[in-house]
C-alpha cells in the first residue's frame, strides 16, 4: 500500500469544503489507491462547524482516509503537507475588489509563511479563494522555497462550464468535448476560447468551430454564459456553486498529479514563462498538459485577433490586481 499523502484544505468549514472533503476521502482527487490524511483549517468563529464536519468525515468510514486533523492553528494545519487546497479567504460578496485583495493578501501572507516553514518542500498548491490568481502570487512571494511550478490557481470550473455549454449547444456528450481554453484570470471578464476545441464523433475528432458554424454565438453568448454561470446558479440555488467547484478542484489536482489523457489539455492558472506574449511573473491561466506531476503550457496554438484582445485585457487586469496586492505589502 502507498504511504498516505497529507492534504490540507483551508476554509474547510465552508461550502466548497463540505462538498470537497468526502470527494478527497473517496479517492476522487488522488486516485483509488492513494491513502490520505486530511488537515482541515478554518478560523475560530467556525471552529464548532469544523468539528461537525470532522465527525461526518469519521462517520464516512472511508477506507482511504487514514487520519483527520481539524484545527484553527495554521501551523498545525500546514505540518508535512503534500497537497494544499486553499479555499479559505475573505468573501467577495462583502467587499469591493480592492478591499478584497487587501484582506486576502494578509491571509495569504500568513498561510504562505506557515507552508514555507512546515509543509513538504515539494508541496503542490491550488488556490481557489478569490481573487485566486493574485492570492496565488502572494502565496509564492511568502513561500519562496516552494518551487514556482508548484503554485497554481483554479480555472478548471470555468473550463468545465465551457465544455458543458458546447455539449448543450451541439447536443453531444460532455465527455466527447475537449480542449477548450480558459485564458488569463478567473474574474467576471474571464475568456473561454473554443477555437481549438474538438468533439469526438466516434470516427474522429471534429472542430467545434466547424460543427457550431456560428462565430457570433462563440464570441457572445457562449462567453457570457460561462462568465455568468456562477450568478445564474446563485439565483436558482440561493447559494453559490459548491460541488461543481469541488469537483473541478479534484479534476485539477487529479490531472496535475496523475496526468492528462493523450491529446487532451486542461486549463490551469500557472506562472507565465512568456508563452503567448504573456509577461512572466503573473499567474495566468493557460492550456496545459500534465505528466508525472508536471504541467507544461501547450505551445504553438494559432491566436486570432478576437482572442488576442481578450488575452491582453486579462493580462492587464492581472497586472493591476498585482499592483494593488503588492502596494498593500509595503
Ligand atoms: P465560504 O464562505 O462558504 O467558505 C470559506 C471558508 O473560509 C469559511 O468557512 C471561512 O470561515 C474560511 N476562512 C476565512 N478566512 C480564513 C482564514 N484566514 N483561514 C482559514 N479559513 C478561512 O466560501 P466557499 O463557497 O466555500 O468558497 C471558497 C472560496 O472559493 C471563495 O473565495 C470563493 O470566491 C472561491 N471560489 C473560487 C472559484 C474559482 O473558480 N476559482 C469558484 C468558486 C468559488
CA–centroid distance, residue 124 to ligand 1 (Å) = 19
CB of 87 within 6 A of ligand 1: the answer is yes
To 10 degrees, what angle do helices 305-327 and 97-118 make? 70
CB of 297 within 6 A of ligand 1: the answer is no
Q: What is the atom index within ligand 1 of the atom nearest the CA of 154?
A: 41
Ligand 1 atom 1: residue of nearest CA = 14
User: Is the pLDDT assigned to residue 91 strictly greater than 90?
Assistant: no
Q: What is the atom index within ligand 1 of the atom nearest the CA of 91?
A: 32
Which residues are annotated as catalytic?
A: 186
CA torsion through residues 318, 321, 323, 328, sign: negative
What pLDDT, in 10s, does the model give residues 185-195?
999 999 999 99
User: Is the pLDDT assigned to residue 147 strictly greater than 90?
Assistant: yes
pLDDT for the residue numbered 98? 84
User: Is the pLDDT assigned to residue 97 strictly greater than 90?
Assistant: no
Q: What is the atom index within ligand 1 of the atom nearest the CA of 45?
A: 11
The residues pairing with 9 across neighbouring beta strands, listed in sequence order, are: 40, 85
pLDDT for the residue numbered 95? 67
Residue 122 burial (10 A CB sphere; 0-12, 13-18, 19+): exposed
Nearest 10 degrees: Cα torsion 294, 297, 300, 302: 140
Q: Does the model's pTM come out above 0.80?
A: yes
pLDDT for the residue numbered 96? 78
pLDDT for the residue numbered 90? 86
CA–centroid distance, residue 138 to ligand 1 (Å) = 16
User: Is the pLDDT assigned to residue 94 strictly greater than 70?
Assistant: no
Ligand 1 atom 20: residue of nearest CA = 42
What pLDDT, in 10s, does the model give residues 278-298?
999 999 999 999 999 999 999
Cell of 268: 490551469
- Residue 305 has φ and ψ, to the nearest 5°, of -65, -40
What pLDDT, in 10s, does the model give residues 210-224?
999 989 999 999 999
CB of 103 within 6 A of ligand 1: the answer is no
What pLDDT, in 10s, does the model give residues 236-283?
999 999 999 999 999 999 999 999 999 999 999 999 999 999 999 999
pLDDT for the residue numbered 99? 86
Cell of 173: 456528450
Distance CA 23, CA 59 (A): 14
* Residue 153 pLDDT class (50, 70, 90 cuts): very high
CB of 20 within 6 A of ligand 1: the answer is no
Amino acid at each position: 500500500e502507498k504511504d498516505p499523502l497529507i492534504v490540507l484544505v483551508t476554509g474547510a468549514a465552508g461550502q466548497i469544503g463540505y462538498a470537497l472533503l468526502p470527494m478527497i476521502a473517496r479517492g476522487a482527487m488522488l486516485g483509488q489507491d492513494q491513502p490520505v490524511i486530511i488537515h482541515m483549517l478554518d478560523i475560530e468563529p467556525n471552529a464548532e462547524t469544523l468539528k461537525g464536519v470532522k465527525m461526518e468525515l469519521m462517520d464516512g468510514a472511508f477506507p482511504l482516509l487514514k487520519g483527520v486533523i481539524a484545527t484553527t492553528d495554521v501551523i498545525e494545519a500546514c505540518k508535512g503537507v503534500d497537497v494544499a487546497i486553499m479555499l479559505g479567504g475573505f468573501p467577495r460578496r462583502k467587499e469591493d475588489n480592492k478591499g478584497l485583495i487587501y484582506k486576502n493578501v494578509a491571509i495569504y501572507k500568513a498561510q504562505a509563511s506557515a507552508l514555507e516553514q512546515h509543509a513538504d518542500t515539494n508541496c503542490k498548491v491550488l488556490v481557489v479563494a478569490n481573487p485566486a490568481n493574485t492570492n496565488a502570487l502572494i502565496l509564492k512571494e511568502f513561500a519562496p522555497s516552494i518551487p514556482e511550478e508548484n503554485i497554481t490557481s483554479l480555472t478548471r470550473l470555468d473550463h468545465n462550464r465551457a465544455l458543458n455549454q458546447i455539449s448543450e449547444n451541439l447536443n453531444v456528450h460532455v465527455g466527447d468535448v475537449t480542449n477548450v481554453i480558459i485564458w488569463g484570470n478567473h474574474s467576471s471578464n474571464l475568456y473561454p476560447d473554443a477555437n481549438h476545441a474538438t468533439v469526438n464523433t466516434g470516427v474522429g475528432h471534429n472542430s467545434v468551430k466547424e460543427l457550431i458554424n456560428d462565430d457570433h454565438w462563440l464570441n457572445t453568448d457562449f462567453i457570457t454564459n460561462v462568465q455568468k454561470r456562477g450568478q445564474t446558479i446563485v439565483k436558482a440555488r440561493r447559494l453559490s456553486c459548491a460541488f461543481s467547484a469541488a469537483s473541478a478542484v479534484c479534476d485539477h489536482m487529479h490531472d496535475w498529479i496523475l496526468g492528462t489523457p493523450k491529446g487532451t489539455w486542461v486549463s490551469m492558472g500557472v506562472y507565465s514563462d512568456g508563452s503567448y506574449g504573456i509577461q512572466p511573473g503573473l499567474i495566468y491561466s493557460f492550456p496545459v498538459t500534465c505528466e508525472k506531476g508536471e504541467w507544461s503550457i501547450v505551445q504553438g496554438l494559432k491566436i486570432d485577433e478576437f482572442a488576442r484582445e481578450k488575452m491582453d485585457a486579462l493580462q492587464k487586469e492581472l497586472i493591476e490586481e498585482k499592483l494593488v496586492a503588492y502596494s498593500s505589502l509595503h
